[in-house]
Structure 1
Amino acid sequence: MSERAREMVKGKGQKASKKRCVEMRNPEDDAERETAADAGSCRTCRLTACVAVVVATTVLVIGLSLCLLLYAAPEADHTSKTPEMQLTERLQRCQKEHRDLSLMLQTVTQDSRCRVCPDGWLWWRSRCYFFSVGLQENRQWNESAEFCRKHNSSLVVIKDSGEMEFIQGVMRTFPRVPFLWVGLTDAEQEGQWLWWDGTDIQHYMPLTVEWDADHRDCADLRGGGSLFAASCEAYGPWACQRDS
């Protein structure tokens, strides 16, 4: 065989060897690289969502503050519009801005890869809330508290009227929900109602617990923002909360 022929055969052998090497490449390596890429994409998506939520929330607060200032102290207007008409128009613009920003916040959290809260939880004002109605069987107060703990959260601690209204609004969407277990108990000392974080019931806002008795050591939330003492052994739905 001539020298040129041997070189051609050798070249074909090297190409065939390279082809076999490519064919024998482990497909799991590609899968691992794709998984790593997806994970990186998800982390980027979550970071983007968090930044968007923070920015949108900041814009919302600033926008509403400016609107309120304009509403409270309108500038002099030399047009034919009356002061009442000017105030009405400004209020309508504020309301539209509020709706637009709220829609933007909702849209940011639609993608399952970019949810600020876990699946089945609701986002509100930098917190995630879980309402067991329709998702879990009713439980006793201690069992409800344990469920929240396992999900890195606690039974709801209501800190202001805005949070109370939010929870009440969610409750109104559920048919036939008599009450929700919340993180309030006087199990340690009768009559001394403490929130889950150890603060007194009056610490955040003026609240009282109705029907207090020795055998009723756990509190539930009902319509109208009312809190009632109940037996901790009773079964019912509950609400958890955690930071987003």
Structure 2
Amino acid sequence: MRNISKDTTPSPGQSGQETAGGRCSITSIHLGLVALNVLIFTLAIAIGLRVHVLLSNQKLDACQNDRAIEQQRADQLNRTLVRNIERSNMLCNTVRNLSESLCPRGWKVQKQKCYKFSKDNRNWNTAKQQCESQKSHFVIINTLEEQNFITKYVKDKIEAYWIGLTDGAEEGKWKWVDGSTVR
């Protein structure tokens, strides 16, 4: 029998550890550890990116939900506003119709006041008595708007109309039929 001796001195670049298939070098173990570290690091980055994307998507979804809720609130507010405007218009029309229905037939309505433009040829005193017999009085013009309304109506008419202005108490001192002075 021959004695076979094994060389137990590792050559440069070898670890000196034996395995069933031969020897492993330290370099290959280090490369394996580096590769494992790179793999773990890459996996950690991938997981971190995935978590970041998920959180970003959650924030985006929350923002979109908030935006949708705000849009719904704005839409509801607009619908409420439109309904209120429609109700207001209906109320204005109702008031207008009521004021018109409160005026006798043939009278004109302006700002919830009734006006009758009579074509009767009477003197001032007789016409005034006729107005009073209808539970009315000659017009007393208090605003420019009222003056414009009356002027517009009588502008192109041939007839003359009496108003509630007189100097009957004292010649040249004009007063309205309610006793107020001309402004």
TM-score (norm 2): 0.46
Query: Greater relative contact order (Cα 8 A, min sep 6): structure 1 or 2?
Result: 1
Radius of gyration: which is bigger? 2
TM-score (norm 1): 0.35
